[in-house]
Amino acid sequence: MEAGAAAGAVPRGGPPAGEGKGAAPRSRHRSSAPRIRAPQWLKYPVIALSLLPAAWLAFALWSDLTRNTRLLGANPVKEMEHYLGEWNIRFLVLTLAVSPLIQATGWGWLIRYRRIFGLLAFLYIFLHLTVYFVLDVELDAALLVEDVTDRLYITLGMAGFLLLVPLAITSTKGWIRRMGNRRWNALHWLIFPAVVLGMVHYYMAVKRDIREPLVYALIFGVLFWARLRNRRGSRGQAA
């Protein structure tokens, strides 16, 4: 998701791809920015690091189940849902931060991390949903449907998840080629309504202390604004 032309269609160190023909961000800072090239292998430690939260959760669950530790506290299912939901939000922030960062620095090579972070965000939301479905509603499809229809925050979360599915599916180079940059980019704007739905879901789920969702809402607001500003800028240049 929010990805891909990424690794393949972009000239190394060049502008972010997957932004559409003619809409590739032309950073005002690019010419003066130092040309930094990241080594190819850097993505492996980045991915390994990004998977640590999931690995820790798996370990905590295993430890609580087999050694009777209480790493996940008194309500392990809720703890897992919260933990995975929050990591999903963090990776959505990272995904959306890549383009503005490229704009500011001219480091076009960062584009491949947009795809990586996007897929990691999807992984965490998928795990979030899996914990909910397997451990919370205990694989009861009728209960799932009831929750989705009766509890607004679940409805909104599910809608956010469903919007992210086509982005994850089309994140491969093959899909980008098949769809063409313009259509692919248009589809990947879905990440914005998905984030809005996810954030409202988050706000409703936390119940009491709303400081964290508000901080994330502010961060997303800035990132949305940066993206819209960039889009207007590249349209202006094209005109």
Q: Is residue 84 a contact partner of residue 56, using CB atoms and an 8 Å limit? A: no
Q: Is residue 220 a contact partner of residue 97, using CB atoms and an 8 Å limit? A: no
Give the binding range for ligand HEM (CB under 6 A) out of 8-16, 100-108, 199-207, 221-229: 199-207
Nearer to ligand HEM, 107 or 202 (CB): 202
Q: Interaction with ligand HEM in 204-223: which residues (CB under 6 A)?
A: 205-206
R_g (Cα) of the chain, nearest Å: 19
Answer yes or no whether residue 132 interacts with ligand HEM by CB under 6 A: yes
Answer yes or no whether residue 20 interacts with ligand HEM by CB under 6 A: no
Answer yes or no whether residue 151 interacts with ligand HEM by CB under 6 A: no
Phi then psi dihedrals of residue 50, to 5 deg: -70, -25
The interface mask with ligand HEM, positions 69-108, x = CB under 6 A, is ---------x--xx--xx-xx-------------------
Distances (CA, A) of 157 to 11, 72, 162, 174, 201: 36, 23, 9, 29, 5
| Binding footprint of ligand HEM, residue count (CB under 6 A) | 23
Answer yes or no whether residue 160 interacts with ligand HEM by CB under 6 A: yes
d(CA 207, CA 107): 40
Q: Is residue 198 a contact partner of residue 92, using CB atoms and an 8 Å limit? A: yes
Binding site residues, ligand HEM, CB under 6 A: 78, 81-82, 85-86, 88-89, 125, 128-129, 132, 136, 154, 157-158, 160-161, 194, 198, 201-202, 205-206
